Amino acid sequence: LRDGLLADIATADTLDAVEALRVGALGKSGVVTGLLKTLGAMTPEERQAKGPAIHDLRESVTAAITARKAALESAALDARLAAERIDMSLPAQPVPQGSVHPVSQVMDELAEIFADLGFSVATGPEIEDDWRNFTALNIPETHPARAMHDTFYFGDNARATGGDGNPAAMLLRTHTSPVQIRTMMNEAPPIRIIAPGRVYRSDSDATHTPMFHQIEGLVIDKGITLGHLKWTLETFLKAYFERDDLAIRLRPSFFPFTEPSVEFDASYSLVNGQRVLGGNDGFMELGGSGMVHPNVIRACGLDPQEWQGFAFGIGVDRLAMLKYGMNDLRAFFDGDLRWLRHYGFSA
């Protein structure tokens, strides 16, 4: 019995097999336990004769099991250490790296260009009140821009206090111009700010998305003229498109919050049929601007006799498309990595 048990234990090749042998020998109904139980029924003489051999059997089986378990455990550890060894000579796995989205990148570039011209960055909330988005900007109740089909309004139970202290309907701002109002009401002139951010209009096709980006510019100071506006637009567009031969053209236009109002165009050249900013093959429209309307200055609590200024607004997405040669506005907001990679924006 003894030799058989010891041989089995020595050749058991898993911890489970050793445990099964332990139960078979030393468990409650194991063979060795069975032998130990027979001692109780023996006469003292028999017990003296057979007892030591049985006890000795139990001890050597126990010792063999302990030894076998230890051997198997250390073999398992060795195997794991060998398997988990790190090969320092293998090339590292590439780690995918993100990048700044083209729209954010353009807004950063613009902030830098305007910082050189003495402008700081101002912000306002995307959920605006009707007074700051329209009324204070001299947009009367009847103006078509207020119609439901352009503006996303919140329900009647979302009314808040407008900038004039009266109850106002809440909406998603339709342009960055309410930041003009916020800045004039919160800061003493002279003012030189740009305000980049998201704006919303109920519109969607290849060149319109319901959410898009604008950048607003506002200067309020003494003795400001249209000449300052033209110089500022020209200087920033030359810097942004990195073209000294970029010319700008102002065309009379209408915005309720500027008087006079002008739309500004930039010159382009044709390269393989593509319009590239700069040169003199033609002009393309870029944005709206003008001298801040006296009613707007007054609505913000300033005296239009003392303070004048200019404002402008441009689509940031358009500026990004023109600089990087992209053609579908909707692709900007799909988050498709293949598209971003194509334009060199993501690893």
Q: Which residues bind ligand PHE (CB under 6 A)?
A: 175, 177, 216, 255, 258, 288-290, 311-313
| Residue 279 beta carbon to ligand PHE: minimum distance, rounded to whole angstroms | 26
Q: Are 150 and 174 in contact (CB under 8 A)?
A: yes
Measured from the CB atom, the residue of 64 and 137 that comes closer to ligand PHE is 137
The Cα 70–Cα 294 span in angstroms is: 92
**Is 259 assigned to a binding site?**
yes
Question: Which of these, 71, 50, 193, lies nearest to 120 by C-alpha position?
Answer: 193
The Cα 211–Cα 197 span in angstroms is: 10
Measured from the CB atom, the residue of 50 and 228 that comes closer to ligand PHE is 228
| Residue 292 beta carbon to ligand PHE: minimum distance, rounded to whole angstroms | 8
272-to-261, 269, 275 alpha-carbon distances in Å: 34, 10, 8
Give the residue ranges of DSSP H helices in 152-283.
178-186, 226-241
Measured from the CB atom, the residue of 240 and 312 that comes closer to ligand PHE is 312
Q: Are 272 and 195 in contact (CB under 8 A)?
A: no
The Cα 267–Cα 101 span in angstroms is: 27
Angle, helices 44-83 vs 31-38, to 10°: value is: 160
Secondary structure E strands in 173-257? 191-200, 211-221, 248-255
Measured from the CB atom, the residue of 174 and 267 that comes closer to ligand PHE is 174
| Residue 175 beta carbon to ligand PHE: minimum distance, rounded to whole angstroms | 3
CB atoms within 10 A of CB 91: 5
| Residue 206 beta carbon to ligand PHE: minimum distance, rounded to whole angstroms | 19
| Residue 120 beta carbon to ligand PHE: minimum distance, rounded to whole angstroms | 17
Measured from the CB atom, the residue of 8 and 214 that comes closer to ligand PHE is 214
**Binding-site positions:** 259
**Binding-site positions for Mg(2+):** 259
